[in-house]
Amino acid sequence: MSLNINNVNRGENLATRFLYELQPGEWARIINIEGGRGLRQRLYLRGIKEGDTIRVISSIQGPVVVEVNRNIIALGRGMARKIRIIKGR
């Protein structure tokens, strides 16, 4: 099954979730960032963009700590609530 970002953005065919919903150790692919230009720019400057594979390190309390492109990054829960993902690599 190929990943069609347009279908995923509309929520078709694939069960999407938000980054803050993942448990520590789970892998996911970023399929959409549901924010404005400012949020997208802040994430891009941290090395996070659509299509990246991401692993959650900590998400129990406080910021959501993730590994993306071999970097460890802490994101506020507000940012994590705007990053739509699909589980798996």
Complete domains list, the chain, with CATH: 14-87 (2.30.30.90)
Looking at residue 5, what is its pLDDT?
52
- Which residues make Cβ contacts (< 8 Å) with residue 69, sequence separation at least 6? 47, 52
Query: Which tokens is 66 given?
Result: 């993730």
Give the pLDDT band (50/70/90) at residue 79: very high
In whole angstroms, how large is the CA radius of gyration of the chain?
12
Mean pLDDT, range 62-72, rounded to an integer:
95
Amino acid code (one letter) for 3: L
Nearest-5° angle of CA 38, CA 39, CA 42? 85
The pLDDT score that the predictor gives to residue 29 is 97
User: pLDDT band for position 61 (50/70/90)?
Assistant: confident
pLDDT band at residue 1 under the 50/70/90 scheme: very low
Range 83-87 average pLDDT: 96
Q: What pTM was estimated for this model as a whole?
A: 0.80
4-31, pLDDT tens digit by residue? 555 545 544 468 999 999 999 999 999 9
